[in-house]
Amino acid sequence: MTDTAVPPLAAGTRVLHIGIPKTGTTAVQHAAAHRRAELLKHGVCYPGRTLNHREAVCALMGRRLGWTGAGDYVPDIRLWQRLLAEVQQHPGARSLISHEFASESDDEQAQRFVDSLGESIHVVVTLRGFAWLLSSSWQQYVKAGRRQPFERWLKEILIEQPGQSAAPAFYKRNDQAAIVGRWVDVVGADRVTVIIADKQKPHQLTDAFEDLLGLPHGLLQHGEAGGLAANRSMSMPEAELIRRMNCVVREHGFSWQEFTALIRNGAIARLLEARRPTAAERKIALPQWAAENATERARAYAQGVGALGCRVIGDLESLYAPIPSVSGKVAKVDSVPMDAAVEAMAGLLSAATGQGAFFDLETRITTPSLQWLSRSERGRRWLQTNQATANSSVTDLLAVAGLRAASKVRSRLRR
């Protein structure tokens, strides 16, 4: 365990950052994507043109995206092949490949990454206190369309028998000791680094990545990103508003693509970007029973990770530090702030009319590979018609454009 600077990895190392989710992954990815060209000047390749490597990682894993039976799909393996080809174009550079879905890998999927990336692979796992993760994880599930109320979800995760609840899927990406242990078994303890995301040391995460990649400190500190780019936490009223919208969407048989376009990239995107919860607005807090349960699990995870022999940057004891909790049951949400409701409705209306979440995307495009499109009137119109968020990938945009074109053809054929 170390809190001091660590020497950079060897030139040519291929760093696979597997998360886990809600451990500062978005902040690192946002900074790396925004400064791709600058990173390359310092000998670090962050391949691709998108915010992160979600689809390429899922393609190699064979992992499905979306709701089962409602538009889910496995991304094309050519996405991973293109990413790998770009890495191979810079053999002397350190490369960074990052998405938290890789943390869900089983032994066979983990071996696929090793076989593809070769002996120069180095796995980085970012961890955060398990008890802190629970509220963040629930709202992330809500952002992806889940409908369970918070306390019912907590009981499924912490109390009910695995196999009869959401627990198996949750622990696949959140059993910290098992995840680190799997990668130690596959690549060896000397090729695994654990970084602790510690609220008391806000730059520890980015400092560690910069040290490992041989970057000057501050390069991965992107400054104040907007609420959407930073994937900010929602307040309890905001989360409950979206959860109830999810119930309506699922009840009426909307597909994953429709949910993504209207709710995720419309209502949620605008809500996250356009408002900040007030200090008085209710936060998502664990009931005391859940906080105690989760803290004990966190202690066991920390001890398990510590026994694996891999490098740990940060203090493992911070993973099971006590967290604030509330006594009794989670109180029901009966109302939401007016501005939260208005922003969610505005995002939904904007997305439904083909204008993204913001009615005007010209100043909100943060994906570097798409910024050139905003320089012309035709490009701006295309973005407003096809782009739902400021962080959509080129692949996503082409898919949306294809769906729109197919829809127009079908409409003409019906006439």
Residue at 212 is within a domain = yes
In terms of C-beta density within 10 A (0-12 exposed, 13-18 middle, 19 or more buried), how is residue 235 classed? buried
Q: Do 298 and 404 have their domain in common?
A: no
- By DSSP bridging, strand 286-287 and strand 192-196 are unpaired
Task: Check whether residue 336 and residue 396 sit in a common domain.
Answer: yes
Strand order across the beta sheet in which 311-313 lies: 44-45, 94-98, 14-17, 121-127, 192-196, 311-313
| Number of domains making up the chain | 2
Per-residue confidence (pLDDT) for residue 390, from 0 to 100: 40
Q: Are residues 311 and 190 in the same domain?
A: yes
Which pLDDT value is given to residue 389? 41
Does residue 121 share a domain with residue 72?
yes
Instruction: Mark whether 25 and 87 lie in a shared domain.
Output: yes
CA count, 13 A, side-chain hemisphere, 389: 26
Q: What is the H or E stretch that residue 84 is in?
A: helix 78-88
What pLDDT was estimated at residue 387? 45
Q: Cα–Cα distance between 92 and 11 in angstroms, integer? A: 6
Whether residues 81 and 50 fall in one domain: yes
Tokens (6 digits) for 370? 């798409």
pLDDT at 360: 65
The residues pairing with 125 across neighbouring beta strands, listed in sequence order, are 194
Residues of the chain with pLDDT under 50: 362-364, 366, 384-392, 400
pLDDT, position 294: 96
158 within some domain: no
Q: Is residue 48 part of a domain?
A: yes
CATH of the domain at 176: 3.40.50.300
The pLDDT of residue 232 is 87
Q: Give the range of the structural domain holding residue 395, as residue numbers without chain letter.
A: 236-281+332-408
pLDDT value of position 402: 57
- Distances in whole angstroms, Cα of residue 323 to Cα of each of 31, 171, 295: 29, 20, 8
pTM: 0.84
Tell me, what's the pLDDT at 408?
56
In a shared domain, residues 366 and 294: no
Residue 2 lies in a domain: no
